Chain A
């Protein structure tokens, strides 16, 4: 009853989001072939200058910008113009897509078959599709899907084809080109390929940016790329990369288009295809190089049930509205626009802020499945009590509690309305039976490859380290589902942890502590730059609203009934706190003079394994290389560690005093002094 009341309170919020429609339903009831061959006539940008992929190339080659850069390169290197021009052509050749409808039709057919076997449903918010259709006609459109799976961009093109919308051109990583045939297929379905890193290569950058801008400005097709830059292996949104966003915003800054619509798209998978692959990768088993044969081997995934996919096309965001009052476009008046220029300070911070806002929009529209809540609870409960796991009915009770809490925090939760909670829980568990085990009415993570060892069976074949790693695979897989919900709880969790570590209930101190944690974790989570106060207020608001907290002018007080919430929230953040501390400890204790950035991950992993095996660490998930990288990035950002560019590539220089004090502050042993805050 209580939960019902709470739910109806959230109702208006839920109503703000659109309804979903399952597109596979129609595929199951009508011919895939006819679908693949049907008339396809999408609406186009009203300012479109019709051009083929070929003319696109020559437009790029003849652009003022490329001419300028080519001559610049010639001047600087003394190379002949023809020579450089040839390089430009070959870069373009390597990069350019060859979008053609027949390939798309082929994919439409095969993907229909594949999707129907893999997924129960693919749900799309059709209002979002209508908004997108409108947007495509008005202004050049940039599609910004979240990136959790290889599937993402095929799925996007498939959806747009299904809804008779203009097919996008997609920025894809060069690594796909490793798969010869597939790479070419993708190219013909609209992918264009960019090298993973080309930092200093002026020429490459010029070709690349001009190519993207040309497509965008002419309205050739919606441009699609992943703000996160790469697939998130942890299901947490990655901090956005700015390069491509900069490129697609540039034509607006320079007045070459009236506006650009950015459309965040949230793709949520109930079960991620690459689930255990990612976990292995995070644990240091190198990622298998993309190869066609590898893909064929992956065929066995076809026999499994991956639940449903939800795709939410968000509200188109106008770059013009974003920039209003923030960017003075007059700064481009005094230099010819084709001369490449490093973005000014204000442009950079604007693009950065926008990128965060867009990733936040992706997060907010990400559909969460009940399993996400269960994973969070199971991770927290795996070691509680003497018995492993948690009783099924207790799990259900907790899940219902968490369901209501998350809805109050604005989560986009898809919890079947008319099904008893126990059924919801058990069906979720059965979909993820690779990760959980139910025995004797208790639910626990499926640690240990083949179930609990039968008495007497020899286990000597497996070293403790191997066993630890195989358990970690399960835990990290589980954590990746919990991570899907992190953005919902993040701000309140930071506040809860701040209250926990702060030395008093004084609001100012809690805020200092909050601000410290937020700063510390800003490489780990999506925290918009410069929004500390807003985030603090939002966290306070949510906790006060749910009755967990009382905030007065001076103090922050946890209420009686708020205890459970706060324990849950702090436990959620705890693995990260511990992870960062252990990285700090590693740097203080083990880092030698010669530690390079490259050696950092293996070394810290070894250190952590040692501590885990010795029982000195609680959370196996700190083995995640993602967490280790993020914490190093944070320490580098804070200046506690410096990269020395010298003979040894990227040697790390540790400021032991500072790292030590950061570790203590994280552990709550040191108060967040004003001085520390000020320095951060």
Chain B
């Protein structure tokens, strides 16, 4: 993550920027495009620093070194360059995997189909001067999100339908031109932001016969103005989370919107999928943060005429845009709320004797509406996993201290190491209030048998979020595949859904012939007044299976979620992966409403990614 240390030490130092004042006294910030990073002329080179068939930066990955120890490469993260001694044992014990059995990716990106081009469209596009590319690598890079099946196929060197070309608009007007041309020539457009979708939203519909153009918003990454009087910022939708946050930080502000994917995901993507951030308890989810949206559709531009903080003007048109998943148009500019940067930040953690107590505590915290910026509860398996990710300790003293803590919790307090679970906390605000708040939360936790377990554990918990995606790539090198998914559920159902979905995964794996027991784990990641967001992870060793991806049981797991009163999605969206359940989720009439909006806004299905409906 970005803020690994408590004192806002920014770990990533690439992407330099300019900072200045606007004529009206607002702040403006602009990213400087340095040669070698994202030059305007060939914006396609993002894949040089990013993996094309895995998660994140090319220089950052887990590997088992020659001694068989796990380490994390690169310099970007706090864990980078460190040895993780516990990971190998955990990996082998949990999955029955062996370092002897490797499944390296097949590095073969030449098998991409030649592009289907709409010559007239290409000709006219050329005349606008907007950069575009038909390069195979560029196209493949934008043909997928990060679902397991997508990455698995890439590693096997299999490519389905990929976009036929990529365009890089530089501003709102460029997008207007592109959408006009696409409508004129009947070309299919698929908006592309950060590429972190996990709902098959970026997959090209195989039945699409028209030329597919991936509209990459990455060049629209400026903060156009900052309004300190109203605490808003007007931002181009292609900006990725970490840049937005860093740029605002430089002028003493933040949006506070930190989805786990914030290193790579873009503002436009957040709006299009109804994203949720880790610190929503203070700052709100994307729908609470957005003040104004500009979106280009085949029917023209949709936006509101003013920036009033709340309006009673019929159904909020923003809610047609948020969650439209690229089926209606391209979000180009967004006005967002900003906040002064918090003075003080503090991590924390609480150990509970069992998951039930932990959930009860979170429920009480929500009831009293005193949730810290973030509060997350990991189950026992994830606690163990987090433990396995502890980097090598430098001094005997720390390891002695760790041993002492463990002794205290398991022997003195009588916690069962196979049942205890841990909540991680993040407090934010001015120092005094944070300390007060902290005490309040720890007092509640104590009522549920919770023991404060230190800042370090909390911090490591949050780090886990950012590296877990990298870990999946490591697993895939050794016959282990995994996936995650989320839901939201009323409080009274939380425990039941956690138990049942985990059990369902185990059962399905067994029934489908998975030889080794899977890792099936969950955590409660957000609290609301009326419920919580639950995140599930599962992974298993697929040696001996002919079609491992088929065995991942996402379908069964989602059925189980729905049968247990969970929602279809809390923040990942529907995409194509979950659209079979849309009708029962929103009812026939609801479906008709959405459909009629689509029919009006985009009658020719220019935005033809076929998500959602």
- A and B associate in one complex: yes
A interface residues with partner B (beta carbon < 8 Å): 47, 254-256, 258-259, 328-330, 332-333, 336-337
Q: Is the beta-carbon distance between A255 and B562 smaller than 8 angstroms?
A: no
Q: Is the beta-carbon distance between A255 and B492 smaller than 8 angstroms?
A: no
- A329-B500 in contact given A255-B493, A336-B492, A337-B492 (Cβ < 8 Å): no
Q: Is the beta-carbon distance between B565 and A258 smaller than 8 angstroms?
A: no
Contacts of B493 in A (CB 8 A): 255
Q: Is the beta-carbon distance between B500 and A255 smaller than 8 angstroms?
A: yes
What are 22 A-to-B residue pairs whose CB atoms are below 8 Å?
A: A254-B496, A255-B493, A255-B496, A255-B497, A255-B500, A255-B563, A255-B564, A255-B565, A258-B499, A258-B500, A258-B503, A258-B504, A328-B563, A329-B564, A330-B562, A330-B563, A330-B565, A330-B584, A332-B565, A333-B565, A336-B492, A337-B492
CA distance A337 to B495 in the complex (A): 14
A121 CB, min distance to chain B CBs, angstroms = 38
Given contacts A47-B499, A255-B500, 20 further A-B contacts (CB under 8 A): A254-B496, A255-B493, A255-B496, A255-B563, A255-B565, A258-B499, A258-B500, A258-B503, A258-B504, A259-B503, A328-B563, A329-B563, A330-B562, A330-B563, A330-B565, A330-B584, A332-B565, A333-B565, A336-B492, A337-B492
Contacts of A258 in B (CB 8 A): 499-500, 503-504
Question: When each residue 487-499 of chain B gets 1 if its CB lies under 8 Å from chain A and 0 otherwise, what string results?
Answer: 0000011001101
B573-589 with Cβ < 8 A to chain A: 584
Question: When each residue 548-573 of chain B gets 1 if its CB lies under 8 Å from chain A and 0 otherwise, what string results?
Answer: 00000000000000111100000000
Secondary structure at chain A's binding surface: helix, strand, loop or mixed?
A: loop
Contacts of A256 in B (CB 8 A): 496
Secondary structure at chain B's binding surface: helix, strand, loop or mixed?
A: helix
Contacts of B499 in A (CB 8 A): 47, 258
CA distance A384 to B500 in the complex (A): 63
Write the chain B residue with the least CB distance to A331.
B563
Write the chain A residue with the least CB distance to B356.
A49
CA distance A589 to B554 in the complex (A): 67
CA distance A255 to B496 in the complex (A): 6
CA distance A47 to B497 in the complex (A): 15
Contacts of B564 in A (CB 8 A): 255, 329
A141 CB, min distance to chain B CBs, angstroms = 16
Write the chain A residue with the least CB distance to B563.
A329
Write the chain A residue with the least CB distance to B496.
A255
CA distance A337 to B565 in the complex (A): 11
B495 CB, min distance to chain A CBs, angstroms = 9
CA distance A31 to B565 in the complex (A): 55
B486-531 with Cβ < 8 A to chain A: 492-493, 496-497, 499-500, 503-504
Contacts of A328 in B (CB 8 A): 563
CA distance A595 to B510 in the complex (A): 61
Most A CB contacts (10 A, CB to CB) among B500, B563, B564 go to B563
Contacts of A47 in B (CB 8 A): 499
Contacts of B492 in A (CB 8 A): 336-337
Most B CB contacts (10 A, CB to CB) among A47, A254, A258, A337 go to A258
Contacts of B504 in A (CB 8 A): 258
Contacts of A254 in B (CB 8 A): 496
CA distance A255 to B504 in the complex (A): 12
CA distance A255 to B503 in the complex (A): 12
A638 CB, min distance to chain B CBs, angstroms = 38
Write the chain A residue with the least CB distance to B495.
A256
CA distance A616 to B311 in the complex (A): 89
CA distance A328 to B565 in the complex (A): 11
CA distance A256 to B500 in the complex (A): 8
Contacts of B500 in A (CB 8 A): 255, 258
A450 CB, min distance to chain B CBs, angstroms = 65
B578 CB, min distance to chain A CBs, angstroms = 15
Contacts of B563 in A (CB 8 A): 255, 328-330
B184 CB, min distance to chain A CBs, angstroms = 45
Contacts of A329 in B (CB 8 A): 563-564
CA distance A564 to B503 in the complex (A): 55
CA distance A14 to B565 in the complex (A): 45
A326 CB, min distance to chain B CBs, angstroms = 12
Most B CB contacts (10 A, CB to CB) among A256, A329, A333, A337 go to A333
CA distance A254 to B563 in the complex (A): 8
Contacts of A330 in B (CB 8 A): 562-563, 565, 584
Contacts of A259 in B (CB 8 A): 503
B139 CB, min distance to chain A CBs, angstroms = 41
CA distance A171 to B326 in the complex (A): 59
CA distance A329 to B565 in the complex (A): 8
CA distance A254 to B496 in the complex (A): 9
B583 CB, min distance to chain A CBs, angstroms = 13
B531 CB, min distance to chain A CBs, angstroms = 12
A94 CB, min distance to chain B CBs, angstroms = 30
CA distance A127 to B565 in the complex (A): 38
CA distance A256 to B499 in the complex (A): 9
Contacts of B584 in A (CB 8 A): 330
